[in-house]
Amino acid sequence: MRRLGYIAVGGLALLALDVAARPGTLRTLTGGTYEGDVTFSPLGGLMVNLTGGSTALVPLAFLVHAQFPPSATVALNPSNRWVVFRTGSVLPVQIVHGTETEFQLECRGVKFKPSPLDVAGIICQPGDPGQWPAFQTGRTGVALKNGDFMDGTIHVMDNSHVNLNTVIFGARKIPIDKAVAAVVLRALTLSAVRYQLRLADGSVYGSKLVPALAAGDAFVIADSILGETRVPFTSVIEFKTLPGAPR
C-alpha cells in the first residue's frame, strides 16, 4: 500500500514522503500505545495513521517497542541455522565449516569468515538468543532439543553434524537437525546494545545508537560487529529498546 499525505505538527502541515504503510503497534517511553498503518516520517520517526483519521508521530528515540506482521514478500530462512554474535546480533546462515577457533559461513549467498571471538554460537530455531540460559552462563557445548546440555569443546561442525569433545562421554558426533537446539561457544555481552531490529527471516541487528531512517523505506543501523546495515522497513517485524541498556 502506498500513501501520500500530510502530517500536522505544531500547526504546520508537512508533506510526508510516498512511503509504504504497514499495520503495526507502537509503544512509547511515556506508556502510550498506538495502533494503525505505520509509515516513515521525514521528521525522523514513525507516523501512525490512527482510526478516525488522526495521526501520531513517534521519534525512534522515544520508541520502546514496535511490532509489525511479516510481509508476504519477505523470504524466510529454510536452513534453520542462525549464527549468534556476542552482542546478540543474529544472521541466517549455512555452515560451511566451523570449529571453536574458525567459522566459514554463508549468509544470503555470500560466504564470510567472522572473527571467532565475535561468535557466541549457532541456534537452530528462530528466537531471542538473549533468553536462552545457555548463552548466559559462559558454558561451552551443545544445548539439545530434549533440554539437556552437553558440556564440551567443539572440535568441528558443518550444516549437518557437530563433533563435540566431552569430559564424560568422550568424542560425540551429534546430528544437528535431529538433536541440536544450539551450539554455544561463549556468553552474550549485551551491555553495549540499546536498540534492536528483528527481521522476518530471524535476523537481529543491534546498536548503541538510534537507527536512522533512509530513503527507500529503510532503517540504517550501526551494528558494532556487522557494521552499518541498511534494513528494509518491509523486512522488520520488531523494534525494541532494551531495558537497562546505556543511552
Q: What is the pLDDT of residues 83-117, one digit of tens each?
A: 999 999 999 999 998 887 888 999 988 999 999 89
- pLDDT, tens digit, for every residue of 168-217? 888 999 999 999 999 999 999 877 789 999 999 999 999 999 999 988 88
One-letter identity of residue 101: T
Grid cell, residue 52, equals 478516525
Are both 2-67 and 195-241 of the same fold?
yes
Q: Report pTM.
A: 0.84
Q: What percent of the chain has pLDDT above 90? A: 61
Could you state, in order of their start, the residue ranges of all structural domains in the chain?
Answer: 2-67, 82-184, 195-241
Q: For the CA atoms of 62, 68, 71, 75, what is the dihedral angle to 10 degrees?
A: 80
Q: What class, spelled out in words, does domain 2-67 have in CATH?
A: mainly beta
Q: Which residues of 38-47 are buried (b: 16+ CB within 10 A; e: fewer)?
A: bbbbeeebbb
CATH annotation of 195-241: 2.30.30
